[in-house]
Structure 1
Amino acid sequence: PQKEEDHTSKAKAPMDMLQLSCIQIAIALLLFTQAKSTTQDTSALHPDDAIPSCVAIERSALLSFRAGLSDPGNLLSSWKGDDCCQWKGVYCSNRTAHVVRLDLQGTYCATEDWSTPVLGGNISSSLLGLKHLQYLDLSCNRFDKIQIPDFIGSLHKLKYLDLSDSMFIGRIPPQLGNLSNLQYLYLVSSTWNVGYSSFYNGTYSTDITWLSGLTILEHLDMTFVNLSTIVHWLPVVNMLPTLKVLHLSDCQLRNSPDSLPVSNLTSLETLDFSGNHLHKRSAPNWFWDLTGLKNLHMSSSGFYGPFPDEIGNMTSIVELHLSYNNLVGMIPSNLQNLCNLERLDFSMNNINGSIAELFHRLPSCSQNKLKELSLSVSNLTGSLPTTLVEPLRNLSWLDLYGNKLTGHVPVWIGELTQLTVLDLSSNNLDGVMHEGHLSRLAMLEELTLSDNSIAITVSPTWVPPFSLGIIELRSCQLGAKFPMWLKWQTHVMSLDISNTSINDIIPDWFWTAASSVAFLNIRNNQITGFLPSTMEFMRAEVMDFSSNQLGGPIPKLPITLIDLDLSRNNLVGPLPLDFGAPGLEKLFLYNNMISGAIPSSLCKLRSLRSVDLSRNNLNGSIADCPVNESSSNMTDLSIVNLSFRNNNLSGEFPSLLQKCPRLIFLDLGHNQFSGALPAWIGEKLSSLSFLRLRSNMFYGHIPDELTELVNLQYLDLGYNNISGSIPRSIINCTGMTQTRDNDDLRDAFTSGVYSAGSDLVDYTENFTVLTKGQERLYTGEIIYMVNLDLLILWERSLKKSALL
């Protein structure tokens, strides 16, 4: 027995130790499980079937919250039943079933389409019933004209809060400073308020000391929040030692201190301070001391002076954006220290030096890492280097637009196999680009070479490896034949091959390839052929086919079309009875051979602003718009600019114009209109600034009501049969004596079409005015007929009239 007892005692000791170890392991496992549960609570997983449904009081809180919302798209239709953990946007802990995450981000930010259904209304304080809530996202919705609720500052367990782009207004509540567990705070004010401050003021803060309570904050984004009254903002931000990402762009901040006595921002990796218009020298500045920064955005900040040498100290930098400033001179040579550099944007500065020297100063240690290089409009000169010391193997974006570069495009461009965007437009480049430049660019999505003298010469059978979304080759030399390689580009959104010396019939395959193009410009070539009968099935928004030799009739237009310019072609036949483009805003068909009457279907184009059908063979009278008895709001058209001159139109002054109260420019000259001028011109067309009725058969007196056109600046009644005296009340037309600018009038005269990446097509070339017996191009400045030079305006029509 004694031996057995001894054996038991000896055995018991290891057993006790084993039990102790098991207990320790169990405790460790329990701690690990709790830690894991905490992590899972933060990630807010839905409970599985073994976990009971959500807590009843939290379900009631959610239902009360929903009751205060407007939900026109029925986005919360799943919010019914007992288990709120299965509702859309609601996430519960898989351990406790408490609601820990509410993610109701709207879709506007992704679609940028205000017609997309989003949430709105009021935010109920019933959210306070979600006592375990750690994550709240209400961004990208439409809470029109309500302030961010103060009570959100009482959701003490929040770690993540996003209220961005939801059209909140007013003061940001300082109660948010009570959220001491917050790690992520996004308060981006709705960006659409830019330029509309008188209508929508967004959010603001006059005191951000509340931020100092967020001691573990890592991400802060207050983009577009108005902080204009805050002077000492940096000491407050400096009290956030864990901050990694800081966005204060476009906050109307007015100062940037030179330095910080002691910087606590040692964890900061991303700083976006762009768009604050600080108007100070680029150095010294406090942020140059943050040598651990990886991403620095200082675009549009009003910095001036030379590029600072301090850039060379930012050895951790990955992205550096200093565009749209007033920095001058060559980039510093110590840029060679930036061995982690991936994205560099110095656009819209005045480097004013050699492009070859700039490439030499790029850090050779990061050339295999460099992905984006943007140097547009920087006054760079000289030729691109013929070779590179280190190839830019990973470069995906090269933008050298708007400089003064000369010479040929080097062949090493074709070695940038990762390139997605190549923009060399608006330089003085010449020479030939051939298959060697293009055949290896399989990743290319945007090719922009416009406004150079580059000739693109490839084999007619060449099949490009890329599928481009944007092709802009304006004023390049593509050759006489239609470029066959475009046949394989079937996903293009913007195509500009204007002024490219094409002298060929337009092939059928082109209309197929261009069927998805939104911006299509082939103007100023010698292209022949007909518009396709399938044109209505294209997806174009802007089409500019002007100054070619296209013939045949005008087919039904694409339903998506907004701007159309078919001027200076050989189009024949009548205007379509159904234009097919209800949203059309600009219709330029001048200088063709279009015949027949003007159809009443023109009245269906309710958005139409600029119409020019001049110099055609149109005839007959202009019918009034048909009355639509089913609609009481079909009275006014939107037309601002209307020209029917140089046709064979007849009948009385068109009564249709009574439905054009916004009309500023009206030209009916050189037709066969007759009858008396109606008195209603002064009342119905009160915005008129330009009225030309020259060379018609109008007769009778000048109605006194015409002198009610106080904005009138040009009036031409020459070569009619008007008789009688000039009304003395003509002095009421004070617009003729004004020398101030009129933006609306200038816009009406210089209407253009934005075509496939090009600048505005100047429309003034079709507007001429008669001054002192000579017809001159109207430039927008020859508008003020000072001292009422009526001899010019009426000429032979008023032989017996007494002049004022």
Structure 2
Amino acid sequence: MANSTSLCRWRYITCDSAGHLSELNLGGARLNGTLDELDFSAFPHMEKLTLSRNDLHGTIPAGIGNLTSLVVLRIFDNPSLRGAIPRTIGQLKHLVVLELDGLGLGGSLPGEIGNLTSLENLNLNLVVLTGSIPPTIGMLVKLRVLDLENNNLTGIIPVEIGNMTELQYMHFQDNYLEGSLPGTISRLINLQELGVSGNQLGGHIVLEFGNSSLLNTVDIAKNNFSGMFPPSICVGGALKFLDARYNGFTGIRHRTFRNCTTLRYVDFTANNIVAELRVCFSDHPKWLTTMAFSQNQLYGTLQTDRREDLLCNLTNLSLLDLSNNALHGDLPKCFWDLPNLGLMDLSSNSFSGVIPFSRTCQVKLKYLLLANNHFRGTFRLGLKKCINLTTLDLGGNDFSGTIPSWASMSLPKLNFLRLSSNMFDGIIPHEILQFRRLRVLDLSKNKLTGPVPDDFTNFTAMAQEQESTGITYADPDFSEKRIHIVWKNVNYAYSLRIRAVAGIDLSGNSLSREIPNGLTTLLGLRYLNLSGNHLSGCIPEDIGNLVLLESLDLSENQLSGEIPPSLAALKSISVLNLSSNGLSGRIPTGSQLQVLDDPSIYSNNPGLCGFPLEDCINSSIAAQAETSLDEDRETMWVYCFVAAGFIFGFWLYWGIFMFRSKTWRCAFYQYVDDMQAKVTKKIYSFISRFQADGSK
């Protein structure tokens, strides 16, 4: 059949000039079945076989080794194909391209892979391979692309890797490889991309690292590399992308980046680098666009000894993240003039002074994070010009004054606003409720007074459930940026990319009056914290409308009345605190409320009862008992006074006859009066004790 002229006319088949079937391309043909019955020996002249994007299942048969003329083999995107890569794969001596991406294969990479000495492209991405990389892989001296990422590979990277001198792209990301980068990697003089992130590699990186004059991408993030970062990284002068975050590097040598004339992205987030800031940046050219050095131990200022502003010549800088370091001093004014700056995160340092603003704020600035420093002054008027801001975090500083009423009109795109832990005072301006896109509002731990504004009709982003929304930004680190907020009483990493959380935190102020009913219209709220204020009145009856609410804290206020029954409708509530108020009555019951069995969440409310506190006394039984007790009291009083009257009459009658002398009669009557007073006092004392016992 292979020589059949009619077969060569089929849509998926290509034949050579001799009429031999040379290519079978069934990519995306919606095949559903196995390869077990396919007689591969019937196609001795086949050079290309493509079975990608189908629904094949079963295994790759050992018979595939009979396609001895095969040059290209592509069977990617068939996740139901199982089993191991057959060892007979080593018989395909003419194979140049082998792509088995996105399969459900298991087992190890067979050592016979080294027999494919003509191979130039080896793609085994997302195949769930186990075991180690066989040393025979070093026999693939013609290989240009080696992609083994997203598997379960273990062991070390074999030193034989250095024999593959034609290699241009080496991707081992997201495996379980350990050990160090072999020194032989310096032989790969044609290497353009090196990706080993997401493994367990460690130790020092060899000093010859970066010998290739073509090396433009290095991704070594999320490993355990330590020591000084290799100064040879830019020897070739072609490096554009460097991701070294989440390692244990301790230092960067001066002028390490001197030859990095093309570097556009550098990320050393979460290392242990101890260095002065200028060591990291002073040799960077003005076209570096992304800098991320957060969570290190950088020190120094953003200015040189000559008071010249550092970094201000980087006119193409789009992302600057220096958060969680030990930097100090004032901010240079030139930051606001950087035309391409989209994100600036200087939070958790020791910066101080008044934030300087120029006459302009560049339109690309969307994320401004200055939290946990020592900045002072008022809410800067210069922010009024940053009309495209979506995230503003000024929490944990020494800002004071009032919250401006112009904020919602001048910053209409804000979806995250945090001014917590400052010294803002005055009332919450009613205009702050005009933020239509706002998802997180945190004004906690300030000195705000007055009522909580009531009209939330313009808070449209909080009025409905939030969906995950991506961001239109090219830098990889930007999409992973997190802001830590207090949610459910713990730190929560709020993603700038996902933004699915909606919440309001006004705790720790001096707000007064009632909780506004308008809050119950914000159906997208997931957390609400009004604790530590002077709020009074009742909890809104419609609190149960907030069906997505997961955390509610109304503690330490002056709330009164009963807990609304609608609270039981909060099916998602997992954190609740109503303690230290004046609430009374029975605690509502509900399936989710029954899970919250910690009595402290209702403590210091003397009038509350019911689970998880002491059970309430049944009202009808109590009323009957009180009625019966009243009747018993009346009967007791009648009996006591009748007895007292009888005794008094008896002694009075006999006293007339017994004492004829006036003096004796007077003495007798005085004695009777005294006795009557004592008896009455005893009866009154007895009745009082009876009443006290009955009320218990």
Q: Give the whole-Å Cα distance in 2 for the aligned partners of 1:158 and 1:596.
A: 80
Unaligned runs of 5+ in 2: 1-7, 14-22, 39-45, 304-308, 467-500, 619-696
Which structure shows the bigger proportion of residues in strand conformation? 2
Structure 1: which amino acid aligns with 2:445? S
- Give the Cα separation in 2 of the matches to 1:158 and 1:541: 55
Aligned to 1:124: 32
Choose the corresponding residue for 2:165, options 262, 266, 279: 266
Deviation (angstroms), 1:645: 0.9
The alignment status of 1:398 with 2:291, answered yes or no, reads yes
Q: Which residue of 2 aligns with 1:442?
A: 339
2:138 touches 2:161 (CA, 8 Å); kept in 1?
Answer: no
Identify which of 139, 146, 152 aligns with 1:252. 152
CA drift of 1:643 comes to 1.0
Q: Is the 8 A contact 2:98 2:122 kept in 1?
A: yes
The code of the aligned residue for 2:544 comes to C
Residue 614 (structure 1) shift? 0.7
Instruction: State the match for 2:132 in structure 1.
Output: 231
1:603 Cα deviation after fit: 2.3
For residues 155-170 of structure 1, the aligned pairs below 5 Å read 163=76, 170=82
Q: Which residue pairs with 1:501 in the alignment?
A: 398
What is residue 364 of structure 2 aligned with on the other side? 467
**1-side partners of 2:133 and 2:390: how far apart?**
47
Contact 2:548 2:570 in 1 (8 A): no
1:204 and 2:106 correspond: yes
Check the 8 A contact 2:404/2:429 in 1, yes or no.
no
When residues 214 and 260 of structure 1 are mapped into structure 2, their CA distance, relative to the original with a 3 A threshold, is closer
* Cα separation, 1, equivalents of 2:534 and 2:79: 52
Post-superposition Cα deviations, 1:452-483, rounded to whole Å, max 9, x if no partner, equal 12236565562123522322111234432212
Change (3 A) 1:216 1:465: farther
CA shift in 2, pair 1:137/1:454, >3 Å: farther
- Equivalents in 2 of 1:611, 1:428: separation in Å? 36
Specify whether residues 635 and 448 from structure 1 end up closer, same or farther in structure 2 by C-alpha distance, changes over 3 A only: closer
Distance 1:270 1:534, change over 3 A: same
In structure 1, stretches of 5+ residues that fail to align are 1-54, 62-97, 105-121, 190-201, 627-633, 682-690, 701-804
Distance 2:191 2:82 in 1: 33
Question: Could you tell me whether the CA contact under 8 Å between 1:575 and 1:594 is conserved in 2?
Answer: no
Change (3 A) 1:167 1:136: closer
Give 1:709's aligned residue. Answer: none
Percent of pairs with identical residues = 23
**For 1:414, which of 312, 315, 336 is the aligned residue?**
312
Q: Give the distance between the partners of 2:266 and 2:214, measured in 1 at CA.
A: 18
8 Å CA contact 1:638, 1:660 repeated in 2: no
Confirm or deny: 8 A CA contact 1:216 1:242 kept in the other structure.
Answer: yes
Instruction: Provide the C-alpha distance between the structure 2 equivalents of 1:549 and 1:148, rounded to a whole number of angstroms.
Output: 68
In the alignment, the residues of structure 1 paired with residue 113 and residue 431 of structure 2 have an alpha-carbon distance, to the nearest angstrom, of 63
Separation (CA, whole Å) in 2 of partners of 1:635 and 1:382: 55
Aligned positions of 1:548-559 closer than 5 A: 548-550=446-448, 551=450, 552-556=452-456, 557=459, 558=462, 559=464
Aligned-pair CA distance for 1:287: 3.6
How many pairs does the alignment contain?
539
Aligned-partner Cα distance in 2 for 1:576–1:698: 29
Judge conservation of contact 1:324–1:348 (CA < 8 Å) in 2: yes
1:790 counterpart residue number: none
1:36-51 aligned at under 5 Å gives the runs none
What is the identity, as a one-letter code, of the residue corresponding to 2:394?
I
Residue by residue, what CA displacement relative to the aligned partner does 1:245-287 show, whole Å, maximum 9, x if unpaired?
Answer: 3232342211225422983x33321112233343323444x54
Single out whichever of 294-303 and 394-403 deviates more from structure 2. Answer: 294-303
User: Aligned equivalents of 1:176 and 1:532: distance in 2?
Assistant: 75
CA distance in 2, matches of 1:622, 1:174: 68
What's 1:769 paired with?
A: none
Using the TM superposition, name which of 559-568 and 178-187 deviates more: 178-187
Verify the 8 A CA contact 1:169 1:203 in the aligned structure 2: yes
Equivalent-residue separation in structure 1 for 2:76 and 2:529 (angstroms): 46
Deviation at 1:182, TM superposition (A): 7.5
Q: Are 2:255 and 1:360 aligned? A: yes
Q: 1:175 to 1:388 in 2, by over 3 A?
A: closer
Equivalences for residues 758-769 of structure 1 within 5 A: none
Aligned to 1:568: 508
2:535 to 551, 574, 594: 594
Task: Quote the Cα distance in structure 1 between the aligned partners of 2:123 and 2:510.
Answer: 57
Compute the displacement of 1:582 (Å): 3.3
* 292, 299, 311: which one aligns with 2:197: 299
The answer as to whether partners of 1:150 and 1:175 remain within 8 angstroms in 2 is no
Per the alignment, residue 746 of structure 1 pairs with none
1:296-695 equivalences in 2 (<5 Å): 296-335=194-233, 337-353=235-251, 358-362=253-257, 364=258, 366-385=259-278, 390-410=283-303, 411-439=309-337, 441-455=338-352, 457=354, 462-527=359-424, 528-530=426-428, 532=430, 535=433, 538-550=436-448, 551=450, 552-556=452-456, 557=459, 558=462, 559=464, 560=466, 562-571=502-511, 572-576=513-517, 579-625=520-566, 637-652=571-586, 654-663=587-596, 665-666=598-599, 667-674=601-608, 677=610, 681=611, 693=613
Q: Deviations 1:522-549 (Å, cap 9, x if unpaired)?
A: 2112234426467476334433221124
Alpha-carbon distance, 1:500 to partner? 2.7
**Residues 487-506 of structure 1: CA distance to partner in whole angstroms, max 9, x if unpaired?**
23333343211123221222
**Structure 1 residues 207, 247: closer, same or farther in 2, change over 3 A?**
closer
Q: 1:169 to 1:448 in 2, by over 3 A?
A: farther
Distance 1:537 1:334, change over 3 A: closer
Matched with 2:175 is 276
Change (3 A) 1:210 1:472: farther
Distance 1:188 1:510 in 2: 50
Match of 1:95 in 2: none
Q: Structure 1 138/537 Cα, relative in aligned 2: closer, same or farther at 3 Å?
A: farther
CA apart distance, 1:435: 1.8
Q: Rate the CA distance shift 1:669–1:321 in 2: closer, same or farther, 3 A.
A: same
Q: Distance in 2 between matches of 1:432 and 1:124?
A: 66
**Cα distance, 1:409 vs. partner?**
0.8
Give the aligned partner of residue 185 of structure 1.
99
Once residues 564 and 169 of structure 1 are traced to their aligned partners in structure 2, the CA distance between those partners, rounded to angstroms, is 49
The corresponding residue for 1:20 is none
Which secondary structure state, in structure 2, belongs to the residue aligned with residue 603 of structure 1? Answer: helix
- Which TM-score applies when normalising by structure 1? 0.58
Q: Which amino acid aligns with 1:225?
A: V
The TM-score normalised by the length of structure 2 is: 0.66
**Taking structure 1 as reference, are residues 585 and 170 closer, same or farther at Cα in structure 2, changes over 3 Å only?**
farther
Cα distance change on mapping 1:205 and 1:384 into 2, 3 Å: same
Q: Deviations over 1:26-61 (max 9, x none)?
A: xxxxxxxxxxxxxxxxxxxxxxxxxxxxx99769x9
| Pair 526,223 (structure 1): closer, same or farther in 2 beyond 3 Å | farther
Contact 1:288 1:310 in 2 (8 A): yes
* Alpha carbons of structure 1 residues 564 and 171: separation in structure 2 relative to 1, 3 Å: farther
In 1, the alpha carbon distance for the partners of 2:564 and 2:161 equals: 78
* C-alpha separation in 2, matches of 1:304 and 1:277: 12
